Amino acid sequence: MTELEIPVEKWSGAVRLVTLGATGDGGTRTSTVTVGGETTLPFLHFEGQIPNAPVVAAEVVDMHPADWSPALLEALGDDTRDPAAWARKMVGLGADLISLKLRSTHPDQGDRSAADAVATVKSVLAAVGVPLIVYGPGVVDKDNEVLVAVADATKGERLALATCEDKNYRTIVAAALGNGHLIVAQTPIDVNLAKQLNILISDMGLSLDRMLMDPTTGAVGYGVEYTYSVMERLRLAALMGDGMTQQPMICSVGEESWRQKESRVADGVPESWGEYATRAVVWEVTTATALLHAGADILVVRHPRSIAQVQRSIAALMKGV
Amino acid sequence: MALTGLQIYKLLPQTNCKECGFPTCLAFAMKLAQKGTELANCPYVSDEAKASLDAASAPPIRLVAIGAGERAFEVGNEVVLFRHEKTFYHQPGLVVRVKADDPKIVELTARMVSSYAVERVGMSLRLDGIAIEDSGGGAAAFAAAVAVARSAAPGLPLVLMSTDPAAVGAALDEAGADRPLVHAATAANWQAMAELAKKHSCPLAVRAESGDLTALADLAAQVQDAGVDDIVLDPGTSDPAGMLAAFTQLRRLALKKNYRPLGFPIIAFVGAGSAEEQAAMAAEAITKYAGVIVLDGFEPALIYALMTLRQNVYTDPQKPIQMEPKLYEVGAPTASSPLLITTNFSLTYFTVSGEIEASGVPVWLLVADADGMSVLTAWAAGKFDAEKIAKTVTASGLGGKLKHHKLVLPGYVAGLSGEVEEELAGWEILVGPREAVEIPNYLKSVWKAD
Ligand code: B12
Ligand code: SF4
Q: Are B106 and B24 found together in one domain? A: no
Q: Residue B133 to residues A234, B116, B149: CA-CA distances in angstroms?
A: 42, 21, 12
CB contacts, 8 Å: A306 with chain B? 276
Q: Is residue A213 part of a domain?
A: yes
Spacing, Cα A207 to ligand 2 middle (Å) = 65
Q: Are B296 and B147 found together in one domain? A: yes
Ligand 1 nearest atom to the CA of residue B348, by list position:
29
Evaluate if residue B345 carries a pLDDT over 70. yes
**Number of neighbouring beta carbons within 10 Å of residue B24:** 16
Subunit contact B240:A321, Cβ cutoff 8 A = no
Subunit contact A7:B309, Cβ cutoff 8 A = no
Q: Is residue B382 part of a domain?
A: yes
Q: How far apart are alpha carbons A212 and A29 in whole angstroms?
A: 19
Q: Which ligand is nearest to the CA of B31?
A: 2
Ligand 1 nearest atom to the CA of residue B340, by list position:
45
CA distance A188 to chain B (A): 9
Cα torsion angle, A20, A21, A22, A27, sign: positive
Q: Which ligand is nearest to the CA of A225?
A: 1
**Mutual angle of helices A304-318 and B275-287, in 10-degree steps:** 50
The pLDDT value recorded for residue A321 is: 47
Q: Is residue A150 within 8 Å of A171, Cβ to Cβ? A: no
Q: Are B46 and B193 found together in one domain? A: no
* Domain total of chain B: 3
Taking only the tens place, the pLDDT of each residue in B220-256 is 999 999 999 999 999 999 999 999 999 999 999 999 9
Q: Is residue B450 part of a domain?
A: no
Smallest Cβ–Cβ distance between B287 and the set A45, A293, A306 belongs to A293
CB contacts, 8 Å: B114 with chain A? none
Nearest to B375 by CA among B432, B422, B449, B308: B432
CATH of the domain at A156: 3.20.20.20
Subunit contact A261:B301, Cβ cutoff 8 A = no
Name beta bridge partners: B329. B364
Pocket probe mutation, ligand 1, options B377, B434, B447, max atoms within 8 Å of Cβ: B377
Q: Is residue B167 part of a domain?
A: yes
Residue nearest to atom 6 of ligand 2 (CA): B20
Task: Pick from A259, A313, A318, A319 the residue to mutate for testing the B interface (most B CBs within 10 Å).
Answer: A313
Burial class (CB in 10 A: 0-12, 13-18, 19+), A49: exposed
CATH of the domain at B81: 3.20.20.20
Q: For chain A, where are the E strands, in sequence order?
A: 18-20, 33-35, 55-61, 97-101, 132-135, 160-164, 182-186, 211-214, 249-251, 296-301
Q: Which ligand is nearest to the CA of B373?
A: 1
**How large is the ipTM?**
0.95
Residue nearest to atom 56 of ligand 1 (CA): A218
A113 at interface of B, judged by CB pairs closer than 8 A: no
Q: Is residue B370 part of a domain?
A: yes
Q: How far apart are alpha carbons B383 and B318 in whole angstroms?
A: 18
A259 at interface of B, judged by CB pairs closer than 8 A: yes
Q: Is residue B322 part of a domain?
A: no
Q: Are B163 and B308 found together in one domain? A: yes
Residue nearest to atom 62 of ligand 1 (CA): B377
Smallest Cβ–Cβ distance between A229 and the set B83, B299, B374 belongs to B83
Domain boundaries, position A60: 18-318
Evaluate if residue B1 carries a pLDDT over 60. no
Q: How far apart are alpha carbons A289 and A309 in whole angstroms?
A: 10
Q: Are B192 and B45 found together in one domain? A: no
In chain B, the N- to C-terminal Cα span, in Å, equals: 67
Q: Is residue B217 within 8 Å of B190, Cβ to Cβ? A: no
Evaluate if residue B2 carries a pLDDT over 90. no
Taking only the tens place, the pLDDT of each residue in B54-97 is 777 788 999 999 999 999 999 999 999 999 999 999 999 999 99
* Domain total of chain A: 1
Specify the pTM: 0.92
Spacing, Cα B347 to ligand 1 middle (Å) = 11
A139 at interface of B, judged by CB pairs closer than 8 A: no
Pocket probe mutation, ligand 1, options B349, B373, B376, max atoms within 8 Å of Cβ: B376
Q: Are B356 and B441 found together in one domain? A: yes
Q: Is residue B320 part of a domain?
A: no
Spacing, Cα B2 to ligand 2 middle (Å) = 20
Choose one of B34, B57, B80: the last residue of a domain: B57
Domain boundaries, position B73: 64-313
Q: Is residue A102 part of a domain?
A: yes
A226 CB less than 6 Å from ligand 1?
yes
Ligand 2 nearest atom to the CA of residue B45, by list position:
2
Non-local (6+) Cβ contacts of B246 within 8 A are B211, B213, B235, B237
Name beta bridge partners: B205. B183, B232
Subunit contact A279:B305, Cβ cutoff 8 A = yes
Q: Classify residue A188 by its DSSP letter.
A: S
Q: Are B283 and B401 found together in one domain? A: no
A10 at interface of B, judged by CB pairs closer than 8 A: no
Q: Is residue A1 part of a domain?
A: no
CA distance A146 to chain B (A): 25
B272 at interface of A, judged by CB pairs closer than 8 A: no
Q: Are B113 and B240 found together in one domain? A: yes
A222 CB less than 6 Å from ligand 1?
yes
Instruction: Kindly give the parts of chain A with pLDDT less than 70.
Output: 1-2, 320-321
Q: Is residue A140 part of a domain?
A: yes
Q: Is residue A167 part of a domain?
A: yes
In chain A, the N- to C-terminal Cα span, in Å, equals: 21
Q: Are B49 and B70 found together in one domain? A: no
Smallest Cβ–Cβ distance between B309 and the set A4, A188, A224 belongs to A224
Tell me if the bond preceding B184 is cis, omega within 30° of 0. yes
CA distance B209 to chain A (A): 13
CB contacts, 8 Å: B257 with chain A? 5, 7
Provide the number of CB pairs (under 8 Å) joining chain A to chain B. 170
Q: Is residue B321 part of a domain?
A: no
CA distance B310 to chain A (A): 9
Taking only the tens place, the pLDDT of each residue in A41-53 is 999 999 999 999 9
Strands B428-431 and A249-251, how do they pair? Answer: unpaired
The pLDDT value recorded for residue A2 is: 58
Q: How far apart are alpha carbons B355 and B432 in whole angstroms?
A: 13
B306 at interface of A, judged by CB pairs closer than 8 A: yes
CATH of the domain at B38: 1.10.15.40
Q: Classify residue A222 by its DSSP letter.
A: B
Q: Are B335 and B417 found together in one domain? A: yes
Q: Which residue of chain B is at minimal alpha-carbon distance from A232?
A: B82
B92 CB less than 6 Å from ligand 1?
no
By percentage, how much of chain B surpasses pLDDT 90?
A: 86
Q: Is residue B30 part of a domain?
A: yes
Q: How far apart are alpha carbons B75 and B68 in whole angstroms?
A: 14
B283 at interface of A, judged by CB pairs closer than 8 A: yes
Q: How far apart are alpha carbons B262 and B62 in whole angstroms?
A: 9
Taking only the tens place, the pLDDT of each residue in B365-403 is 999 999 999 999 999 999 999 999 999 999 998 888 899
Q: Are B120 and B30 found together in one domain? A: no
Subunit contact B304:A272, Cβ cutoff 8 A = yes
Q: Is residue A102 within 8 Å of A136, Cβ to Cβ? A: yes
Non-local (6+) Cβ contacts of B348 within 8 A are B342, B374, B375
Evaluate if residue B135 carries a pLDDT over 80. yes
